[in-house]
Structure 1
Amino acid sequence: MNSSFPLKGRGAKIGIFLLIAWLSSCNTLKRVGENELLLTKNAIYTDGERVLDEDARSLIVQEPNTRVLGYPLRLNLYNLAKKDPDSTFQAWLNRKPGREERLAKLLSNKQVDALGESFLVKGYSEWLKKIGEAPVIIDTSRSRKTLQRLKTYYDSKGYFNNSTTFEIKEEKRKQRAGIDYLISLGKPYFIDSLTYSIASPAIDSIYRKNTARSFILEGKQFDFADFNSERQRLTELFRNSGVYNFQESSITYNILRDTAETRDDQQMTVELNIENLRKRGDSAITTSEYKVFSFDRINVFADYEFGDDPGSMQSTEYRNYTIYFKDKLRYKPKALTDAIFFKKDSLYRDLDRLRTYRQITNLNTFKYPNIQILEDSTQSKLISNIFLTARSKYSLGLNLDVTHSNIQRLGIGFSTSLITRNVFGGAETLSLSARGTFGLLSDTSLPEDFFSEVGADINLTFPRIWFPLPTEKVIPYYMLPQTRISAGTSFQKNIGLDKQTLNSILGYTWTPDLFRKNTLELLNILYVRNVNPDRFFNVYGSSFRQLDNIANNYEDDPALADFFEPTDDPDDLRLIIPEGTTGFTEAVIDGMVNTTREDFIDVSRIEERRDRLTENNLIFSSNYTFTKNNKSGINDNSFYQFRLKLESAGNLLSGLSYLVPFNQNDNDNLLVFGVPYSQYIKTEFDFIKHWDLSRSNVLAFRSFVGIAVPYGNSESVPFVSSYFAGGSNDNRAWFPYSLGPGRSSDINDFNEANLKLSFNLEYRFPVVGNFKGALFADAGNIWNVWDNVDDPNKTFNGFDSLADIALGTGLGLRYDFTYFVFRVDAGFKTYNPAEAPSKRWFREYNFGNAVIQIGINYPF
């Protein structure tokens, strides 16, 4: 949803002036005592060098008040609150004698107290204190605690002889100071030798074979983090080598320092100890050697409910698995066993357990499984019991939305879906969905202001790669393979050219791990039919105005008289849509009217664009998308993500044309079902990087490069496969489709092209509570390249065209609802390539011309 910023004129200037005056008048030291110092900054120095490491800085106990763009907003909000709001209420009671008695007659004492508690001044003060922040007064006891933390931290890095102190640095400004924490590191300690003592022979054997990747190495500086990493590595190693019950607490280290005069005082000996398994009994703790276990039996309990008696179930054997069920086995055995990575006589591996959890959950048929690992009676083999609880066979969803945009005055949308699980007994999922949007258009000049769009889809998902040839060796089941077959259709009325679409997809997805995902659409068929192509000049108003302005030069030609209609201005005529626009264009192109060369070129370009955007499209394409990221969790603010997509359209039909004779149109394009099929190749690269700057301040960057090149049966890329610029997730200083192509100024059209460059930089910071702020800069544009558009204003012509990159800057406000983020961004056109070169910078850089973009969640 987009709308223009309404702040204009004198009111905006007065409001900004009052805001600046209020911020300037706030007394930062209002709550700072006469003999107290307000903490303004902290700094850590090791041997005179400034420390920027966030791990070290996080140990500081007392941090300065938070700032928003350098201004202590929360502190000054706190200072605005009344120090003692109860006294304000008492003063109100004392203004007139007897007021308290009169209130007491009307209300009980308890109610009088409640009235005082809810009194406006107190409520306002409490709210300010809640969202504000009390001044941070320097507390030397907390500074000493910080020193203790820093000493322990650098001890863990091998600087056992470090010494710490702090200095309070008073500023020139009154009652303000910073604290410098000074650490003298001393000489670091190194690992001289590594020995080990391992109680269990099985553990000793595994350890000896896997020392190459150890984090603890001779000659390396002591670092406690290496010992934690090594403990985790060994625990994973043993648990993935058959020792299912290995305990991390069995691993300990002895660190020794030889004080003999012949030895360097900074050298240390590390002894690794791995003890036996400790078991807590009813009355004592016993120990036993760790053993390597393999599986003897694997039991799968289908349709299991909590409290069921497994002994009362029926069972069947399938490939060394025992499957238990109640009355009837509703699942194909292969569908169940393919999701389980434990194998009879194979060693236990924690990795197989994790993969089993993931794959069973990925089936979308069962709830989160319960996997039980037991030793058999001989205590030499394992038994695995896997309990599966089925999800509901059917589920129904319904959503309702109310929307408003620059196109829709009011829109009411709905969507509903019916999901059926385990359709064919192999954990397949069938989804039927329908959607619709109905409402009123913002453009009341159209004959009808009612619009509608309805659609329906059917999706069938298989939890495996559905392909004639075996694929298990290339894409094993632990990669969560899926096959999706879908078909859908949609119908529009009074939206653009009223498109009708038919779409069908055969695609595959697989995820080798949590950080990588592959998507292959082997076949994606899309048919787009424009029901009302004659409405082109009603929809693309800029193209009509350009054509009408050209036609004004020839409106006195008698041969063109039937193409015009009068307007409110008796001296002005306008082309009739569509008869006049079509007739005038044909007359110019066919040479029936004598025009200038420039007008002929412009009319030809307009007609070429109209023909391209009104033609029906048939797209047979295949595409592959690879996505990778290293985000470790929802709270990880330092990560990267990139996406690579390759798409090819029309090659299958082009190959068939050598076997099957296709019809051709007047332009020698091959036709399928009477429609020229599209042929192009397309590639996209999208890269995102986030940096955590500290204290919830994040710098986010995104770059996008995309190009689609037509060839063979096409001279241009279809509208649905082209690029546009502007919008809440792109360049926020422009509305969607309003930027570009290049330096053209068709700002009222749905502008699109086949080359796009986009770069975004955003600084995100906390404001108050769940409110977050942002400063951003968006750069980019779209161009036509290697297609049938030859307008130099719209085409990419080498490095010189980079001067057409538009720049939008602005600020935003977000509210974090935990599950999603609601955001409002105000974008300003900083550099507009559509303007004359001398007017491109800061031409409309004011609140009156700001563009407001509203979105859900962060744009990248």
Structure 2
Amino acid sequence: MCTLILGGCSQTKFVPKGAYLLTDIDLKADNKKVSKSALTGIVQQQPVKRILGIPAELWIYNLSDSTGKTRFKRWINKTFQKIGEPPVIFDSSLYASSLVGINQYLISKGYYNAVVSDTLTYQKNKYVKAKIRIKTNAPYRLSDYIITGSDSTLVQRVKSNSSFSLLKQGMIFDSDILEKERERIASSLRNEGYFFFNKSHIVYEADSSVGQKRVSLNLIVKNGLVYNADSGSVEEKKHEKFIIKEINVYTNYEPTEALVDKDYLGKFSSYTYSGLNIKYLNKRNVTSELINGAVQIKPNELYDNSKVNATYDNFSGLRMFRTVNIQFKELAKDSILSSSAGTTSAISAVNFVATKELACNIFLTPMLLQSYKVEGELYMSSEIWGVAGSLGYSHLNLLKGGELLNLSFNGSIDFLKGNREEDVINKVDKSTEYGVLSSIYIPRFLLPFNLQKRLILQSPKTQFTGGYNYQSRPYYTRSLVNFGFGYSWITKKKLEISYTPINLSIIKMSNDDELKENLKTKPLLYAAFSDHFISSGVLSVVYNTQRINSQDSYYYSILNLELGGNLVSLFNPLLKRVKSDADASVSSSIWGMPYAQFIGTDYTLVYNQRLDSKNRMVFRFQVGASFPYGNSAALPYEKYYFVGGANSMRGWQVRMLGPGAISDSEDDLDVIKGQRALGDFKLEGNLEYRYKLFWSFEGALFLDAGNVWFLPRDHMASKATFKVDTFLSQIAANTGLGLRLNLGYLIARFDVGMRMIDPSKPYGSRFLLNQIPTSDYFSYHIGIGYPF
């Protein structure tokens, strides 16, 4: 076995005689404006992949043997070679081609006088390292530009829109920006009815003879081409505007059937609604209102490519169609030419008859309407272990109007180890919880007036939510019923906004006599674990740069704001007043339950950076604060923050960390074992390095840091209170390893977190890495999906 492992550790085992293993490429430029990732992507050979400096995949590959004499050994060899990575044999021709590519890239970015130097270091052990240095020197810049063309009308249209131009005097002469300007002009003209116009009709003439590394530019708007049947030649012709003559929507189109059945489209039944010809096969599968709301293209209006894109977005946002295909056909008396929206090839400018009318055909292929989802989680530490799961059901078109129904049934069971036998509350050894959540999303605003026509909104939805949750603890039983009603939409700036003006919850406690007796001298938790009524409004704003089917870096941020009890407080003179058994305070109530009055806000930022095709670095930052006022002296239990668990601080289980520097052995804070880690202020940061291992397995290294605190108030333990001068010393931290099985449609995850800094320990003993680790330091999590 040792021989096998040592053989695998030989990196040059499969490097032929006279060849070299490429182990490193050190590429640096003296200009930070030059993208290193772009330069690295040009290099056609990448060195051996390393994980923490170790070429693990190459070692696995080298465990194979090219001379497998038995069937079993050949299978073993194939397995090692499949999950491993073969050696990167240095190819001088690919290396030379890469240097040429780097030079061409620098020229395209305006660095015409850049100098690229390189050094190859060959070592006796068959290794070679490359060192590439780039000196960009001063770039060429744009001195000025003019817009010309033979069609004065079109030239004037381009000039009138030049305030949005990407070309600026003095800018670096970057070919990427020039290309984006062509796309911008083409998009602008297509939004004004010029259907056949594309970026190939924009060309540049550059003049660098002005000197001083300056370039004068002539932007030329070219005419289209038209075939003259009489002369049999292609001639120039001015671009013309097109109007939409008719719109045909095929609501249950199947492209595979259309390929084999020439008369397939003729079998569709049809009816007209608001100028749309809605076609269906066999039976109607969607309502007329749904189609009319999604289609932004209108009959007898000029062609507008932005409305085509909005129609795509609206149908995609419904999440009930597998594919959406919008095609346009020029209507002509003598001949017909088809073209897809967004076609950019030069041939799209060739037409036979210069008509001004288009037929729009929208082909919708439905998805499977019903689906099920099963999720589970297993967690374990020295303090608590348990299992949780859920069963979900979705229907994408409940009432044929694109209504999305979601049902989720969930449950969990926890086993907790108590360590304070004298405290009646800590006799907890088992807790169970189950519940049901439901939601229905209607793809339009339910309002007495038509707001959608007044505002430009994408994917408007009205949402109804409801749920029931039951918790059974040895010291109490708790039931929660909630209902919500609100709206969501997407703005032009890709902000996803959700506003829930009605968010109601009723929380009832039972079997809690011992709990109440114990908490009578602890008003904070007494209020949290009492019957209460919540009426709040929630505003959520999400910004996401992630693109579908893209592996590029992206980030998203979520901002939430919740106000509770303000509307109800207007009726205080009409409400009954109740007295608390804990501190004799008096508050207004509804149905005998005090209503909660509070304000809360939280912010989440996630940045997912693509390092290369097999490695990513993901960062998350979270901060949140809530504060009771008016009718409430404390927050409802549901509105407190907590950390820990499979998606948070993975060195701890859920609600087992904090608040602040409080420890289990201290009695100066009202705590319940297994429920104690509450706070109205949360601060957390996470860093995770994700890397491809082999087959569908991925690895992860992570670091989590954060905690929860209470905001300053009377009768609160100082160790649990957030203070500017002490909170840094109360930040907890853990590191850990993760293994993920990524099957595309399912990601199974196993994470092991190890505590590094534990603020519950005495000051001076909180750093744990200089101590011998015990089982208390570790937490184990099995879950579905990435943690963030």
Q: Does 1:790 align with 2:724?
A: no
Identical columns (%)? 25
* Offset, 1:757: 1.0
Q: Does 1:463 align with 2:440?
A: no
Specify the alignment match of 1:277 in structure 2: 224
In the alignment, the residues of structure 1 paired with residue 565 and residue 31 of structure 2 have an alpha-carbon distance, to the nearest angstrom, of: 66
Answer yes or no: is the 8 Å Cα contact 1:757–1:782 preserved in 2. Answer: yes
In the alignment, the residues of structure 2 paired with residue 198 and residue 342 of structure 1 have an alpha-carbon distance, to the nearest angstrom, of: 30
TM-score, normalised by the number of residues in structure 2: 0.82
The 5-angstrom pairing of residues 105-254 of structure 1 reads 116=70, 118-119=71-72, 121-160=73-112, 162=114, 164-170=116-122, 174-182=125-133, 188-254=139-205
Letter paired with 1:85: T
Letter paired with 1:850: F
* Offset, 1:534: 4.2
Specify the alignment match of 1:85 in structure 2: 67
The one of 576, 596, 613 aligned to 1:662: 576
In the alignment, the residues of structure 1 paired with residue 549 and residue 276 of structure 2 have an alpha-carbon distance, to the nearest angstrom, of: 37
Specify the alignment match of 1:803 in structure 2: 729
What secondary structure sits across from 2:768 in the alignment? Answer: coil
Number of aligned residue pairs? 734
The 5-angstrom pairing of residues 561-600 of structure 1 reads 582=517
What secondary structure sits across from 1:152 in the alignment? Answer: helix
In the alignment, the residues of structure 2 paired with residue 363 and residue 762 of structure 1 have an alpha-carbon distance, to the nearest angstrom, of: 33
Q: Does 1:264 align with 2:217?
A: no
In structure 2, the CA distance between the partners of 1:205 and 1:437, relative to structure 1 (3 Å rule), is same
Unmatched tracts of structure 1, length 5 or more: 1-17, 90-115, 537-580, 586-602
Answer yes or no: is the 8 Å Cα contact 2:19–2:90 preserved in 1. Answer: yes
* Offset, 1:465: 2.2
The one of 622, 645, 649 aligned to 2:560: 645
* Offset, 1:415: 4.3
Answer yes or no: is the 8 Å Cα contact 2:379–2:782 preserved in 1. Answer: no
In the alignment, the residues of structure 1 paired with residue 610 and residue 238 of structure 2 have an alpha-carbon distance, to the nearest angstrom, of: 46
Q: Does 1:421 align with 2:398?
A: yes
Answer yes or no: is the 8 Å Cα contact 2:28–2:36 preserved in 1. Answer: no
In the alignment, the residues of structure 1 paired with residue 374 and residue 553 of structure 2 have an alpha-carbon distance, to the nearest angstrom, of: 36
Q: Does 1:762 align with 2:688?
A: yes
Could you tell which deviates more after superposition, 56-65 or 40-49? 40-49
Specify the alignment match of 1:626 in structure 2: 541
Q: Residue by residue, what CA displacement relative to the aligned partner does 1:343-375 show, whole Å, maximum 9, x if unpaired?
A: 444332111011122223444666645434344
Q: Residue by residue, what CA displacement relative to the aligned partner does 1:60-110 show, whole Å, maximum 9, x if unpaired?
A: 22222111111121222223222x333xx2xxxxxxxxxxxxxxxxxxxxx
Q: Residue by residue, what CA displacement relative to the aligned partner does 1:461-481 show, whole Å, maximum 9, x if unpaired?
A: 3322223455336643x4221
In the alignment, the residues of structure 2 paired with residue 192 and residue 610 of structure 1 have an alpha-carbon distance, to the nearest angstrom, of: 70
In the alignment, the residues of structure 2 paired with residue 517 and residue 825 of structure 1 have an alpha-carbon distance, to the nearest angstrom, of: 32
* Offset, 1:834: 0.5
Specify the alignment match of 2:357 in structure 1: 382
Letter paired with 2:161: N
Answer yes or no: is the 8 Å Cα contact 2:5–2:63 preserved in 1. Answer: no
Could you tell which deviates more after superposition, 622-631 or 141-150? 141-150
The 5-angstrom pairing of residues 470-509 of structure 1 reads 470-472=450-452, 475-476=455-456, 478-493=457-472, 497-509=476-488
Specify the alignment match of 1:453 in structure 2: 434
What secondary structure sits across from 2:569 in the alignment? Answer: helix
More strand by share: 2
What secondary structure sits across from 1:498 in the alignment? Answer: strand
* Offset, 1:265: 7.6
The 5-angstrom pairing of residues 9-20 of structure 1 reads none
In the alignment, the residues of structure 2 paired with residue 277 and residue 253 of structure 1 have an alpha-carbon distance, to the nearest angstrom, of: 16
In the alignment, the residues of structure 2 paired with residue 521 and residue 256 of structure 1 have an alpha-carbon distance, to the nearest angstrom, of: 58
* Offset, 1:127: 1.9
* Offset, 1:767: 3.6
Answer yes or no: is the 8 Å Cα contact 1:709–1:717 preserved in 2. Answer: yes
Root-mean-square deviation over aligned CA pairs: 4.0
In structure 2, the CA distance between the partners of 1:227 and 1:178, relative to structure 1 (3 Å rule), is same
* Offset, 1:647: 0.4
The one of 44, 51, 55 aligned to 1:68: 51
In the alignment, the residues of structure 1 paired with residue 707 and residue 550 of structure 2 have an alpha-carbon distance, to the nearest angstrom, of: 33
Unmatched tracts of structure 2, length 5 or more: 334-353, 419-425, 665-671
Specify the alignment match of 1:95 in structure 2: none
What secondary structure sits across from 2:507 in the alignment? Answer: strand
In structure 2, the CA distance between the partners of 1:766 and 1:390, relative to structure 1 (3 Å rule), is closer
Q: Residue by residue, what CA displacement relative to the aligned partner does 1:789-817 show, whole Å, maximum 9, x if unpaired?
A: 61223222442233211121223333332
In the alignment, the residues of structure 2 paired with residue 512 and residue 815 of structure 1 have an alpha-carbon distance, to the nearest angstrom, of: 36
* Offset, 1:726: 1.0
In the alignment, the residues of structure 2 paired with residue 219 and residue 705 of structure 1 have an alpha-carbon distance, to the nearest angstrom, of: 42
Answer yes or no: is the 8 Å Cα contact 1:715–1:788 preserved in 2. Answer: no
* Offset, 1:237: 1.5
In structure 2, the CA distance between the partners of 1:366 and 1:830, relative to structure 1 (3 Å rule), is closer
In structure 2, the CA distance between the partners of 1:136 and 1:619, relative to structure 1 (3 Å rule), is same
What secondary structure sits across from 1:641 in the alignment? Answer: strand
Q: Residue by residue, what CA displacement relative to the aligned partner does 1:591-621 show, whole Å, maximum 9, x if unpaired?
A: xxxxxxxxxxxx865x435523431221101
What secondary structure sits across from 1:839 in the alignment? Answer: coil
In structure 2, the CA distance between the partners of 1:202 and 1:331, relative to structure 1 (3 Å rule), is farther
In structure 2, the CA distance between the partners of 1:775 and 1:190, relative to structure 1 (3 Å rule), is same
* Offset, 1:169: 2.9
Specify the alignment match of 2:640 in structure 1: 722
In the alignment, the residues of structure 2 paired with residue 70 and residue 138 of structure 1 have an alpha-carbon distance, to the nearest angstrom, of: 20
In structure 2, the CA distance between the partners of 1:474 and 1:761, relative to structure 1 (3 Å rule), is farther
* Offset, 1:409: 6.1
Specify the alignment match of 2:761 in structure 1: 835
* Offset, 1:665: 2.9
In the alignment, the residues of structure 2 paired with residue 655 and residue 325 of structure 1 have an alpha-carbon distance, to the nearest angstrom, of: 53
